[in-house]
Each structure stands twice: as C-alpha cells, then as structure tokens.
Amino acid sequence: MSQPLIDAITDMREDDALKITDELLTAGASPPDILAACRQAMEVIGRQFEAGECFVPELILAGEVLKQISAKVKPLLQEQAVPSEKLGKIVFGTVEGDIHDIAKDIVAFMLDINGFEVLDLGVDVPPARFVETTRQTGAKIVGLSGFLTLAYDPMKTTVEALKAAGLNEVKVMIGGGQIDEQIREYTGADAYGRDAMTAVSLAKQWAGVA
C-alpha cells in the first residue's frame, strides 16, 4: 500500500492524492491496492474525527477525493472483480417530513467505507418504506436520520412499524441535530449516535464484529 497516497489523503492534499494515484496506475500498481490505501486513509480520518482532530469539512473533502480516485480505479477492476466482504446490510434514511441529507450522507459514507452495505432510501421516507426494504433485503440494522424536532414522531412511528411487521430482531439507531437519550427512549430506538463514528461503532457492535 502506498504510504504517500495515504498521507496525501489524510493531509487533505487533494491534488497530490490524485497525482499520486495517476502515477501509481501508470507504474502498474494494482487497483485493489489503491482502494485498500484509500480505506486505510479513511480509517485514520475516522479516528481523527472521533478524537475531535478533524471535522465535517475534512470528511466531505476526503469523500470527494475517494470518489475521484474510485472513478479512476474502478474501470480497471472489471477483470479482477473480487466480491468485497460486507459486514451486513443497513437500511438508512431521513424520516418522513424531513429532507435534511448532508449528515445522512456522511454517516452512510462512513458505514460504507467501514464495510457495510448501505441501502440509502434518501429523505422524507415513510415508515412503510423502511419496513418494506428491511423485510425484502433481510437487513438487521436500520438507521434513522432526522434534523428537526418534527422528526421525533416519524422516528417513533417507524420503530413501531418495524415491530408491528414482526421485524423484532432488527436493531434501530437514530441520529440528528436534536436527538438525545430522552428522544431515544421516546422513539423506542435501540440506540442513538451523536456522530458518524458512533454510528459505525454501533453498527459494528450489532454486527458482532466490534
């Protein structure tokens, strides 16, 4: 794995990271190795985020860099498609009536990078859709995002709908601007997360890989 590439990504040097990727590819580096370096860099960034050393802009920039590197690398992966081992499926979305998506996107991104298959239903998602997708895909984890105080009741309704559909072993995590333990209790969710890294550790815990 290329340490210069990892460093360029973790140092937020976008142009360097892309240049090094081009150089590596020209020199015949293996595409899976490049993606592995990206994942390694994201792990470092994730730890820094948890430690309060980097913040949302860094996550977004890293996401942009990874997107561009993936675009260069993925076409070359066709012949050597290796099914990535996913830790599990997570049904994710912003609840009904709420259209905030930035935080949801960051959390979904971090979950994906950390090995989960994220089924992102988008925003303003009615409880029935969460239930349907969870049932169809057999996902064992559902994540509900909501930014407004008006998200509390849709979150509660979604949790109830999952139980009513008999999906009792499914674990639900909630997160958003005005979420706390009191709201977790109110909604009946299994846990709440203050940020993306908490979501990741919750998911890993529930998937039995923490």
Cα 64 to Cα 48: distance, rounded to the nearest angstrom: 18
Nearest to 41 by CA among 73, 72, 10: 10
| Contacting residue, 1, 36, 61, 77, with another protein by CB under 8 A | 61
Backbone angles phi, psi at 142, to 5 degrees: -125, 135
Binding range to another protein, per CB under 8 A, among 37-45, 73-81, 148-156, 162-170: 148-156
122 three-state secondary structure: coil
Q: For residue 112, what are the contacts with CB-CB under 8 A and spacing of at least 6?
A: 118
| Contacting residue, 2, 96, 130, 144, with another protein by CB under 8 A | 96
Shorter beta-carbon distance to another protein: residue 38 or 54 = 54
Binding range to another protein, per CB under 8 A, among 35-43, 67-75, 90-98, 198-206: 90-98
| Contacting residue, 4, 32, 44, 186, with another protein by CB under 8 A | 186
Answer yes or no whether residue 99 interacts with another protein by CB under 8 A: yes
Answer yes or no whether residue 76 interacts with another protein by CB under 8 A: no
| Contacting residue, 16, 101, 117, 132, with another protein by CB under 8 A | 101
Shorter beta-carbon distance to another protein: residue 88 or 193 = 193
Element (H, E) at 196: helix 196-206
Q: For residue 137, what are the contacts with CB-CB under 8 A and spacing of at least 6?
A: 89, 91, 119
Both structure tokens of 174: 């909630």
# chain residues binding another protein, by CB under 8 A: 31
Binding mask 2-31 for another protein (x = CB under 8 A): ----------x-x-----------------
Backbone angles phi, psi at 146, to 5 degrees: -160, 135
Question: Are 62 and 109 a contacting pair, CB within 8 Å?
Answer: no
Residues that bind another protein (CB under 8 A): 12, 14, 54-57, 60-61, 64, 96-102, 124, 148-150, 152-153, 177-180, 182-183, 185-186, 195
